[in-house]
């Protein structure tokens, strides 16, 4: 999800963003999850500038992205709904990936072989023949490409060492 808050001062925007992050913590806790299941990509404080008639700052926006890594799919619906109702994020995107892709592929191949063998045995029996050994097999897999959103906010964002603030995201797992 993407949390983005705009306000007249960087402190006010930061406080509102901190409140939204606290609400994320509350939703996770209410669903029996540790905040370590969430990762925070960056925390940036860019300014919004009006160019015409003369350049001036019109506001400050605090932005961060939060990623939840869940293994229990039954929690996805309630968490997504509760975060939407809390109105703490601009966007929520749901993606999933298998943790052990090779193991899943192997299981799929084994399952496909069993089904193909059962079908071949049925055809052989129906035609009064017996099924011999496997003489040829081909395994072809297709994986959807993973879309990675650029995190360009990190290059102009506020880092703990740069601004001296303590972030409201300390108990989340940092991204590498």
Q: Which of 40, 25, 147 has its CA nearest to residue 93?
A: 147
- CA proximity to 48, closest of 60, 36, 65, 30: 60
Question: Rounded to an integer, what distance in angstroms lies between the CA atom of residue 95 and that of residue 75?
Answer: 14
Strand 38-44 with 173-174, pairing: parallel
Residue burial 144-173, b: 16+ Cβ < 10 Å; e: rest:
eeeeeeeeebeeebbeeeeeeeebbbeebe
Chain segment 32-65, per-residue pLDDT in tens: 988 888 877 666 776 766 667 777 777 888 888 8
**Residue 81: what are its φ and ψ, rounded to 5°?**
-65, -45
pLDDT of residue 107: 92
Q: Give per-residue pLDDT as tens, 121-170.
A: 999 999 999 998 888 888 876 666 666 554 444 434 444 444 444 455 56
- Sign, CA torsion 85/88/92/94: negative
At 1-34, the pLDDT tens digits run 888 888 888 888 888 888 888 888 889 889 998 8
Predicted model pTM? 0.55
pLDDT tens digits along 87-100:
887 777 777 777 88
Please determine, for residue 113, whether its predicted confidence score (pLDDT) is greater than 60: yes
Q: Directed axis angle between helix 76-86 and helix 10-30, to 10°? A: 150
What's residue 89's pLDDT?
Answer: 79
């Amino acid at each position: 999800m993407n949390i983005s808050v705009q306000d007249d001062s960087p402190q006010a925007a930061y406080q509102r963003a901190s409140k939204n992050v606290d609400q994320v913590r509350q939703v996770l806790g209410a669903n029996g999850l540790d905040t370590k299941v969430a990762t925070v990509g960056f925390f940036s404080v860019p300014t919004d500038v009006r160019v015409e008639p003369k350049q001036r700052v019109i506001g400050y926006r605090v932005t961060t992205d939060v990623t939840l890594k869940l293994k229990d799919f039954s929690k996805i619906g309630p968490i997504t709904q509760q975060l939407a109702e809390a109105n703490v994020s601009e966007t929520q995107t749901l993606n999933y990936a298998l943790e052990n892709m090779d193991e899943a592929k192997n299981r799929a191949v084994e399952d496909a072989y069993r089904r193909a063998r059962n079908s071949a045995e049925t055809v052989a029996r129906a035609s009064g023949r017996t099924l011999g050994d496997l003489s040829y097999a081909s395994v072809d897999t297709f994986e959807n490409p993973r879309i990675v959103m650029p995190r360009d906010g990190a290059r102009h964002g506020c880092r703990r060492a740069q601004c001296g603030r303590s972030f409201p995201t300390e108990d989340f797992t940092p991204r590498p």
